[in-house]
Structure 1
Amino acid sequence: MFRTVTPSHPAYPRFVRASAWYDLAVTAGFATPWTYRLLHSALSRFGEAVGAGALPALDPIEILYANLMGSVVVVWALLRLVRPLPAHGLYDGLARTLFALWQAYALAHGAPSWLWLFLVAEVAFGVVQLAPWRLVRGGVSAPPSAGS
């Protein structure tokens, strides 16, 4: 029998932490110009090897946006590892919905097909973190204060 997990269930923070570990593993390489160059090269080689296509050549603005995204996601992942609160799972699920939308948009406009791997992960973690909130009646309550 399927057991319902609500955001207040003790297992929910494990989902929040798991998504944070995934984010840290996948986005740490985007956080600096040096690591992004290495990651870009590896992803291009992978795409060529599997016939999914290489990434376009790097330019300074692309590097900047990759570094901004990587830095924010790494900090967000660290917060969720240290404090995996139910509200963090809710907001992470919402952010994953946006990421999935933009990844689908990129795929529809010619992005390399290996992006599907990341899209599937975004949707899976989004569903795992958002679905339990459907069970919460009366909307989302404010998180407890630090002194509680």
Structure 2
Amino acid sequence: MSRLRIPAHPAYLRVVRASAWYDLAVTAGFATPWTYALVHDALSSCGNALGLGALPELDPWQVLFANLMGSVVVVWAVLRIVRPLPEHGLFDGIARTLFATWQAYALAHGVSRLLWLFFGAEVAFGVLQLVPWRWARNANLAVNDAGPTDGRPLGTASR
């Protein structure tokens, strides 16, 4: 059985790290109740100024979930900055697919159109991190379909 080739090219790891820096910059303010109140007010003002809609008033449940999300994403971002691995890109791409799905659901249900800015970033980083895995999988399948290059039947070892 052959191992799946993984996208370990330095350019891919730069994408993994760049997505982590983006996450850190965007979500650090969500990690505490005090910073989230500031971010909430700034986003709401920005949404109003751009005609995209304000955020709903703060309530304790919203703050709690924003803080939970912010804390987890900050830790995940720091891991990818400090030690970017191809597998981190794969899992981050999957997480971004989930985030984008729920953002699309929220947009379909009338949240501030300001969310489109974040949705676009989720989709872009998700594609950049998942497509190389698809290419690697296809390359691996092509190699396996071709069989051994020394004339031996598949599954036999050389002596």
Q: Report the TM-score, using the length of structure 2 for normalisation.
A: 0.82
Report the equivalent of 2:153.
none
Report the equivalent of 1:8.
8
- CA distances 1:90-116 after superposition (whole Å, capped 9, x unpaired): 000000000000000000000111110
What is the RMSD of the two structures over their aligned residues, measured on CA atoms? 1.2
| 1:130 maps onto 2:130 in alignment | yes
The within-5 A match list for 1:61-140 is: 61-137=61-137
Partner amino acid, structure 1, of 2:27: T
Partner amino acid, structure 2, of 1:110: G
Separation of aligned partners in 2, 1:63 and 1:7: 38
| 1:28 maps onto 2:33 in alignment | no
Larger radius of gyration: 2
SS for the counterpart of 2:10 is coil
SS for the counterpart of 1:11 is helix
Separation of aligned partners in 2, 1:55 and 1:116: 13
Runs (4+) of structure 1 exceeding 4 A deviation are none
- CA distances 1:15-46 after superposition (whole Å, capped 9, x unpaired): 00000000000000100000000000011111
Partner amino acid, structure 2, of 1:68: L
Paired residues, number: 134
Partner amino acid, structure 2, of 1:88: H
Report the equivalent of 1:145.
none
| 1:57 maps onto 2:57 in alignment | yes
Separation of aligned partners in 2, 1:32 and 1:8: 35
Following TM superposition, by how much is the alpha carbon of 1:136 offset from its aligned partner in structure 2, in angstroms? Answer: 1.9
Q: Report the TM-score, using the length of structure 1 for normalisation.
A: 0.88
Following TM superposition, by how much is the alpha carbon of 1:10 offset from its aligned partner in structure 2, in angstroms? Answer: 1.8
Report the equivalent of 1:40.
40
Q: Percent identity?
A: 74
When structure 1 is superposed on structure 2, of 23-32 and 129-138 the one drifting more is 129-138
Separation of aligned partners in 1, 2:16 and 2:78: 11
